[in-house]
Amino acid sequence: MNISFMPPTSRALRPLNVEPVLLRGLHEHIAARNAADATLAGRPAVEIARTRAQVASAARLMAQAFVHNQDKGWLAWLPPSEVARVRAGDTRRAQARIARVIEYLCAAAAFEGGLVLLESADTPAAPHEREIRGASLWGLPPAAPGTEPSWHLAAFGVPAALRSYGVLRAVAAAGAANALVRASQQTMHRLGFPARCIYAQMGCVQPAHQGQRVSRRMFEPFRLLADRFGLVYRLESSSPETNDQRVFSNFRFEKIGEHHFGGSRFNSVGPYTINLMVRRPRPEAP
């Protein structure tokens, strides 16, 4: 699956709701990372999504990776027949369902500090195109307090959930997502971690490009930002069996808790566990 950038004439996103000093710092770290990689093959680079088309491309890539890896947190609320298709190798419909929900979540996150980061490289077969190889959704302390307006949920969230899951599964999926958020926030509070933090909400690397430091390029600007401003960096790992040691431990994340989803008639994969993880800031060298 080759996902390329859309033309720059695509509709722009709303302005980012991120603390200005953090946004400036993030741009600085991204520019430094890209300058360091400019001489590498393919000129790999990261950038913040600027258009709705870029966010849609990011959502498709994340859905492709989550389905390819059979991520239980994403497959759980699809109909059993769809999960069976995935396990038989037919992933097209599941990817479309999940991409629709992810695109909505990216738009909803923008109201409270969310942004989408893309990693891309030159495409040898098409020199004027950039292939998106990694995508991630982040939450940063917002410039102005805000939550998703009810009109946005009604206009975009509800239709996306109903089309992807159906009524009863959509309700179950929303309940599961809210329970995970509560569990993560309560664990952070109980252990004395500040609510003001960097939040890695979701991310992936296109399967064909795993092992090419794509994850590191996406994580590093936020790691540097966290250390620079003394911010905790948190995430929920929905594939602990593959990601915790291979990816997150390398970035010095530690497990602080677990959240368990039990079996139900709306959960198509059975019980599963999500690990709650944080990375503590490390003081910058003088």
Angle formed by the axes of helices 92-109 and 80-87, nearest 10°:
110
159-205 tens-digit pLDDT: 999 999 999 999 999 999 999 999 999 999 999 999 999 999 999 99
Q: How many Cα atoms are found within 13 Å in the side-chain-facing hemisphere of 25?
A: 19
What are the tokens at 14?
């709303």
Mean of pLDDT over the chain: 89
Which pLDDT band holds residue 286 (cuts at 50, 70, 90)? very low
CA 123 remoteness from chain centre: 24
In a domain, 83, yes or no: yes
pTM over 0.85: yes
Q: Are 239 and 75 in contact (CB under 8 A)?
A: no
At 253, the pLDDT band (50, 70, 90 cuts) reads confident
Residue 59 sits at the vertex; the CA angle it makes with 109 and 100, to the nearest 5 degrees, is 85
The Cα-based distances of 179 to 18, 146, 173, 185, 275 in angstroms read 25, 20, 10, 10, 14
Q: Would you call 69 helix, strand, or coil by DSSP?
A: coil
Q: Is residue 285 part of a domain?
A: no
Instruction: Report pLDDT for 237.
Output: 81
Amino acid at 12: A
Confidence of residue 117 (pLDDT cuts 50, 70, 90): very high
Using alpha carbons, select from 273, 283, 205, 196 the residue that is nearest to residue 234. Answer: 196
β-sheet bridge partners, residue 116: 137
CATH code: domain of residue 153: 3.40.630.30
The per-residue b/e assignment along 119-130, b for 16 or more CB within 10 angstroms, e otherwise, is: bbbbeeeeeeeb
Helix (H) or strand (E) holding 256: strand 254-261
pLDDT at 3 over 60: no
Which of 99, 90, 93 minimizes the C-alpha distance to 63? Answer: 99
Mean pLDDT of all residues in 259-278: 90
**Under the phi-then-psi rule, with left for phi > 0, alpha for psi from -120 to 50, and beta for the rest, what region is 149?**
beta
Q: For 17-58, write each residue's pLDDT tens digit.
A: 999 999 999 999 999 999 999 999 899 999 999 999 999 999
Contact 215, 247 (CB under 8 A): yes
Portion of the chain with pLDDT greater than 90, in percent: 73
| Per-residue model confidence (pLDDT) at position 8 | 45
Query: Has residue 38 been placed in a domain?
Result: yes
**Structural domain containing residue 89:** 3-279
Q: How confident is the model at residue 107 (pLDDT cuts 50, 70, 90)?
A: very high
What does the pLDDT read at residue 127?
Answer: 67
Question: Is 90 inside any structural domain?
Answer: yes
Q: Report how many domains make up the chain.
A: 1
- Can you tell me the mean pLDDT for 129-134? 92
Is there a domain that residue 286 lies in? no
| Residue 252 pLDDT class (50, 70, 90 cuts) | confident
Structure confidence at residue 123 as a pLDDT band (50, 70, 90): confident
Whether 217 is in a domain gets the answer: yes
Helix (H) or strand (E) holding 32: helix 20-37
Question: Which tens digit of pLDDT belongs to each residue from 194-251?
Answer: 999 999 999 999 888 888 899 899 999 999 999 999 999 999 887 655 554 455 666 7
Whether residue 77 is predicted with pLDDT greater than 70 in this model: the reply is yes
Q: What is the pLDDT of residue 247?
A: 59
In a domain, 161, yes or no: yes
56 located within any domain: yes
114-123 and 126-139 strand pairing: antiparallel
pLDDT for 92 equals: 96
